[in-house]
Structure 1
Amino acid sequence: MIKTEVFNRLGQPKDPDGSLRTQGNCRTLTTTRLHIACSEEITITKVLAERLHATGVADELTDLTKRELLAGIATVLLQDNEVVDESFYGFSDIESRTPVRRDTIHRIFSNTKIITSVAMLMLYEDGKYQLDDPLVKYLPALDNLKVLKTGATDVNDTEALATPPTIRQAFTHTAGFSYGTFQESLVDRLFMETGVQDRNGTLEEMIDKLAGIPLARQPGMRWQYSIATDILARLVEVMSGDTFADFLSTRLFQPLGMTDTGFHINDDQVDRLATLYAPVNMMDESKGLKPMSGDRTRRVPGSEITATGNDRSDDGQSPRGWAHRTPTGWDDAGPYVRFRCRVEIIALTGRT
């Protein structure tokens, strides 16, 4: 769904018939390296589905699966709460030739961050905290955080916090934390050595380990993709008194009828879980894909949620199993949030 007021705030022109326009040029969808051809000006109307196929995007997606650059793809395009296109490409399991279907269960990985943030916003509406509250107010284990000095050559070369990291900064990944997987700094190495992201551990244990690792920089200094959303997940537990998984199930998934969305899958769902693949040769994508092993039936909440495109609202129009980042943040965040499958067509939003 593309809201008129959203585009107006972004300064996009509006046609006399009420449709919206945006300047476009060729962009790259970085997750697939799919180049989307686009005209200089595109009118956003209900013929988006036809344009999606007419511009060759569907052919490109099909080609990606045929060449085994991607195993399978499911796309849903909505406008004004109406599904205008729903397409499936490739296989959920290449070896058994099981096609991707509407009820295929996918791992949504870091899209789980949106759901975590919505849970925190629900608690904000419940009056549980203020955005500028320091994290230590609710997580006393973080009371003695230090900051790695600029140019430090030893993890013990630290300085005191200028200001304590806040919940707002955790939301925006500006709290000074790192992730431990995307860089090779002293802090990142310490993340790995300490096992901060132990998939068999609890969120409480994660915080205890995090307390002994210096921040990569002073809070509020700059953005860095980090473990901050995992910290928000622990805040959900502390503020609600529930486990993170139970809170999401009780306050979000069950009320919305999202029966296939959660941190674990049941025995009767296993056959619908898409196999996870990796390139056979990271340096040569033409070599195809190989399945990755992994247990996704365990009941310990971790870094990802599994979901389908079949978790829909009662009117059958708004897919809720997938949560996607939007140019303006969360869509209709609140106790009755509806996770709309919002397709980020790069040619339309002009954003990567």
Structure 2
Amino acid sequence: MQGYVDRQQYPGCSVLVAQGGAEVYYAQAGLRDIASGLPWERDTVARIYSMTKPITSLGLMLLVERGLVHLDAPVSDFIPSFADTRCLVPDASDLSQTEPCAPPTLHQLLTHTSGLSYSFNPGIVSKAMRDAKLDFSPGTRTLAQTADEIAALPLAFRPGSRWEYSVGIDIIGRVIEVISGQTLDAFFETEILGPLGMTETRFRVPAGTGDRFASLYTPLAGEAFDLNAKAEGGDSLRQTDHADGSPYHDTNMHSGGGGLVGTIDDYLKFAEMLRDGGRGLVSPHILSFMMRNHLTGDIASMGPSSFAEQPMDGMGFGIGGAVVLDPARARVPGSKGDFSWGGMASTFFWVDPVHELSVVFFTQLAPSSSYPARSQLKALVQGALT
């Protein structure tokens, strides 16, 4: 980590490792804000972006466990604007070239096989999302409003036919609101974050933690999330969201796909819950179901053309996270059954059921595809096992 900081690739970072329920390693390096020289510390609050997805996915599974919903239900049962779904015809060259199709199911939304996409992916639908700024970013739009705007676009492909990283779990967040009758932030606080003691993880920078909130940096000359224009800038650590003026201090958006900010110790509590059978929050049987591969093969076999937070060869996808099917094909040392996901600011976590490990890595550099830190970290942890 110090090497990444010294080479001016990461502003600052931290790693926390637990084994068998006990902390075995913690380290930090660098700064949470370069201009002010503030150090990166254990209680630094960071944007976890897509590491929100496993939390939202668990939220829906709590409702499944209570018999309030089933995974094969079409999303239109909860968001009527999806009722008349259309998808692009194969090899479409224009957004108008569509045909009717079934609305995606909740399972397809959770596993990125729904036909939805992301604005930073290649393709016609993704471009339309970029043009309309439909990315569930913090601001004045609400989750309900943006979900309806997404529903007005065609799907990129027929649901179930491919894998493409998408805003599907943002839509799941809206489904949770409809079923529970609560806003997503209230549901999280009462059902997940509160019970786990994750008191400093919220959609807005938690009260009293603003002086610990990190700034966000990018090595790109343009927008940090514009993965289709990856030209590097002259500054490898260009500030793209300052801690003081960040929209995360006052946002109306509750993005279940990427909206939470929090601390590394908070996220370890979530990871340990996944590793340790639910800890009374959810049954071990539901967790086992979530952390299995829900695809017909690995991600690579489903023809993806999108960005992903993980390798695609030898990796399956469960409910809200990736599952290692074959470490050799994934080309990263690890255990079969490792469950993991990362965030666009290069954060990462995994749980290893074989070695009883929970590992969480925090930094604030977007995009997460900039450096191979995740595979390096897994190799280091594996090499340290005795």
* TM-score between both structures, scaled by the size of structure 2: 0.66
2:120 equivalent in structure 1: 181
2:266 equivalent in structure 1: 311
1:117 equivalent in structure 2: 57
TM-aligned CA deviation for residue 198 of structure 1: 5.2
Q: 1:156 to 1:128 in 2, by over 3 A?
A: same
Q: 1:274 to 1:174 in 2, by over 3 A?
A: same
TM-aligned CA deviation for residue 138 of structure 1: 1.5
Partner amino acid, structure 2, of 1:342: V
Answer yes or no: is the 8 Å Cα contact 1:116–1:233 preserved in 2.
Answer: yes
SS of equivalent residue, structure 2 residue 29: strand
Superposition pairs of residues 159-308 of structure 1, within 5 angstroms: 159-161=99-101, 163-183=102-122, 185-197=123-135, 199=137, 200-279=140-219, 281=221, 283-284=231-232, 287-293=235-241, 294-300=246-252, 301-302=254-255, 303-308=258-263
Structure 2 residues not aligned, in runs of 5+: 222-229, 288-348, 352-357, 361-373
Q: Distance in 2 between matches of 1:226 and 1:280?
A: 22
Task: State yes or no: 1:146 paired with 2:86.
Answer: yes
RMSD: 2.8
Match of 1:342 among 341, 347, 359: 359
Deviations, residues 244-297 of structure 1 (Å, cap 9, x unaligned) = 011001111122221111111245211100111122656457743122233221
Q: 1:266 to 1:81 in 2, by over 3 A?
A: closer
More displaced 10-residue stretch of structure 1: 151-160 or 229-238: 151-160
Q: Distance in 2 between matches of 1:164 and 1:331?
A: 35
Q: Distance in 1 between matches of 2:23 and 2:68?
A: 36
Deviations, residues 63-120 of structure 1 (Å, cap 9, x unaligned) = 1101210011110111111111000011111222222111111111110111111111
Answer yes or no: is the 8 Å Cα contact 2:5–2:12 preserved in 1.
Answer: yes
Q: 1:331 to 1:262 in 2, by over 3 A?
A: farther
SS of equivalent residue, structure 1 residue 292: strand
Task: State yes or no: 1:63 paired with 2:19.
Answer: no
Identity of aligned residues (%): 32
Answer yes or no: is the 8 Å Cα contact 2:13–2:29 preserved in 1.
Answer: yes
Structure 1 residues not aligned, in runs of 5+: 1-60, 313-318
SS of equivalent residue, structure 1 residue 144: coil
Task: State yes or no: 1:88 paired with 2:28.
Answer: yes
Q: Distance in 2 between matches of 1:220 and 1:280?
A: 34
Q: Distance in 1 between matches of 2:196 and 2:109?
A: 27
Q: 1:323 to 1:92 in 2, by over 3 A?
A: farther
Answer yes or no: is the 8 Å Cα contact 1:124–1:130 preserved in 2.
Answer: yes
Q: 1:139 to 1:271 in 2, by over 3 A?
A: same
Partner amino acid, structure 2, of 1:290: R
Q: 1:65 to 1:174 in 2, by over 3 A?
A: same
Q: Distance in 2 between matches of 1:323 and 1:278?
A: 27
Q: Distance in 1 between matches of 2:143 and 2:275?
A: 24
* TM-score between both structures, scaled by the size of structure 1: 0.72
Q: Distance in 1 between matches of 2:165 and 2:279?
A: 25
2:305 equivalent in structure 1: none
More displaced 10-residue stretch of structure 1: 285-294 or 164-173: 285-294
